[in-house]
Amino acid sequence: MLNNSELLKLHTNQRLLVTEMQSRGIDVKIIYKDIELIKAEYEKHIEWILDRDSSITPYSVSIICGDKYITKKILEKNKISVPIGEKFLPNEWKLSIIYAKKIGFPVVIKPVFGSHGDNIYMDIENENELKDIVQNIYVKKLKTSFIIEKQFEGKEYRVFLTKEGNYAVLHREPAHVIGDGEHTILKLIEIENEKRKKRINCLCPIATDEITKSYMKKTIFQWNTNQQKTKKYI
């Protein structure tokens, strides 16, 4: 059985999966951590699991779920509401600006492939702001296709459904810290991230990257200002 220190070496999703398997008496071994390859054995049955994929996961499903645009279109075809949005290649960035103006600001921009909110920009309120992000991040840096979507406010839920009809729904609250009247926002984030390191079932640390800084610039809050109690800050 993997101990806590070994579990913490795994990516969040796989760590949660391994924790649940071990609670059910399944023997789990890390084979190659860099590519998240593990071996799960129960009685005489062996599964080789790469990230979250195993022998029962069809290859086509993995490809579809890894592509936000294809997933979006399949949901749309099945009468499931999705935000208005379209995919663009890096060399189509001018068309993406025109499209954003057509559907109206604010908009969200995200890569077609990726997870954990990486390189997703929200609250884009005008053409100049969008143009700066598209050119500097998606055209010059990432050089990858991206999606422009109409932004809307609401709660986030993650739904898990099996073909047998079993399901689970998780309400995901955005990452935040609460002011204590003493520490700066940056320090509060550091304190929260230290707590997260000690929790096996915790998600990623709160980022203090350019996306977070960009969001903070749009608010009245400052990184290095002590914040009042009970107030939440992203």
Q: Is the pLDDT of residue 232 over 80?
A: no
Round to whole Å and give the CA distance between 33 and 194.
Answer: 23
Q: Is 65-150 a domain of CATH 3.30.1490.20?
A: yes
Lowest-confidence pick of 41-45, 165-169, 201-205: 201-205
Per-residue model confidence as pLDDT tens digits over 25-70: 999 999 988 888 999 999 989 999 987 788 888 888 888 989 999 9
pLDDT of residue 149: 97
Mean pLDDT of 179-202: 83
**The pTM is what?**
0.75
More confident position, 55 or 88 = 88
Where do the domains of the chain lie? Answer: 4-57, 65-150, 156-233
Q: 228 pLDDT band (50/70/90 cuts)?
A: low
Mean pLDDT of 120-125: 92
Quick one: what percent of the chain has pLDDT higher than 70? 91
SS (H, E, C) the chain: CCCHHHHCCCCHHHHHHHHHHHHCCCEEEEEEHHHCEEEEEECCEEEEEECCECCCCCHHHHHHHHCHHHHHHHHHHCCCCCCCEEEECHHHHHHHHHHHHHHCCCEEEEECCCCCCCCCEEEECCHHHHHHHHHHHHHHHHCCCEEEEECCCCCEEEEEECCCCCEEEEEECCCCEECCCCCCHHHHHHHHHHHHHCCCCCCCCCCCCHHHHHHHHCCCCCCCCCCCCCCEEC
What ranges in 78-202 are assigned the alpha helix state H?
93-103, 127-133, 185-197
Q: Is the pLDDT of residue 234 over 60?
A: no
Q: 182 pLDDT band (50/70/90 cuts)?
A: confident
More confident position, 42 or 1 = 42
Query: Which among 112, 113, 138, 114 is positioned nearest to 124, based on CA atoms?
Result: 138
